[in-house]
Amino acid sequence: MFFDGFDIYVAATVLGAMLKSGFSTMGQNAQFVSVTFIGMMLGSFLTGFLGDRYGRRFSYQANLAIFGLASLAAAFAPSIGVLILLRFIMGVGLGAENVVGYSTMTEFIPPRLRGKWLGGMSVFVVSGLPITALVGTLVIPRFGWRTMFALGGLGAMVVWYLRKALPESPRWLESMGRTAEAEGILAGIENEVALEHGPLPAPIAAPITNPSRRLGSLLSPLLLPRMIVGAVSLIVVNTLIFGFVTWLPAFFVQEGRSIATSFGYSLVMSIGAPIGSAIGAFTSDLWGRKPTIIGASVVTILIGSFYPFIKNPVELLIAGFLLMIPIYVLVTILFAIYIPELFPTEVRLRASGICNTFGRGATILTPFLVVGLFRKYGIGGVLSLMIGLLIIEVVVVLCWGVEPKNRRLEEMESRVSVSPTAHPFA
């Protein structure tokens, strides 16, 4: 997941360098970002169907190989046209990784710790932003922007080999009728824990739910409002990342700052990303998902409202750092924790994949819109778009959002709240 984040955020470092060297133009940079979304949209959609049909483990390995190999090839791209094509292929793997990675972990973690552990994994993902910025600052001036793709690809392929030991999700196995395999994995976990903590109490059976595997169930009165919340939230958070965060170095270059200064600004500001992600990880279990989403959205709106009017370089840096924190609280809550929790195991990857497809698909035009707004209104115009979308998100989450805090995934599959007792898959 870290190298997924590294490859996603590599655009923030290479776009400015490619622009400065003459390898690309602002328009071509917009195409580069746009095809990333097209690829991620396709990857999100396909992996949902593959993951629910063939398992989490199969999908997890396939997408990593796709974006790792494509990233290595991108290091040798002879032209911006070839690089854009390879970025599309990378996008397919990157879009798949976000869906299957978080959903798989969701199915292993008990409810009282789900936010903490999934948020913790998100910290590793978003750490790709400051680390990519740091590596870019050190590497690009000496070795060129191609090195960034080579590093991401090599790292991904190493992890592809190590990840062969990943176990299949017991929840998915059980949903496919492969109960003996699910029991085998759970027995191994229970034996490990029993050796350290002594015999475990017998699980207390929870009421049985029988969710449908049919795609049409996503349009049911129970799941359709959740699909709307998921799609709108991911449209907003994708636009925040790819309509503002990844464009910061290019914005600074266009405003007359040097490559080194632009990377320095972006690096300092990006440190707010893992801090925000960590805050999201801990507050989601403490305060709940909905209050954290709404609170982070309001803080982002407040800081974003005065950010464009700051001229002092030091104050601009501080405000940018503070703006990154609530943005990445939202990234962690929505991508890593909230969306996978909303849907039954039988359709979890397809539902998450479709929500991600809307998120990626809606931002295909975002780079072109951002370039137009920036040319006409500067950063203020770009942030006005972000603030408008955040207001819409707050309204949607307030009206239709559900609260998964301390609730088992099986409990989320029904309108009826069941008692918080132990469960074989808790």
pLDDT at 118 over 50: yes
Which has the closest alpha carbon to 65: 163, 160, 188? 160
- pTM for the model stands at 0.81
CA–CA separation, 108 vs 104, rounded Å?
A: 7
Exposure string of 234-250, with b = 16+ CB inside 10 Å and e = fewer, is bbbbbbbbbbbbbbbbb
The average pLDDT across 67-94 equals 92
CA–CA separation, 30 vs 369, rounded Å?
A: 9
The helix-helix angle for 2-21 and 146-162 (nearest 10°) equals 170
Q: Which domains does the chain have, with CATH numbers?
A: 2-412 (1.20.1250.20)
**Residue 233: per-residue pLDDT:** 95
CA–CA separation, 216 vs 224, rounded Å?
A: 10
Mean pLDDT (the chain, rounded): 85
CA–CA separation, 166 vs 101, rounded Å?
A: 11
The average pLDDT across 330-336 equals 92
pLDDT digits (tens, 9 = 90+) for 209-257: 677 778 888 999 989 999 999 999 999 998 887 777 766 656 665 655 5
pLDDT digits (tens, 9 = 90+) for 19-77: 888 888 888 888 888 888 889 889 989 998 999 999 998 888 888 889 899 999 999 99
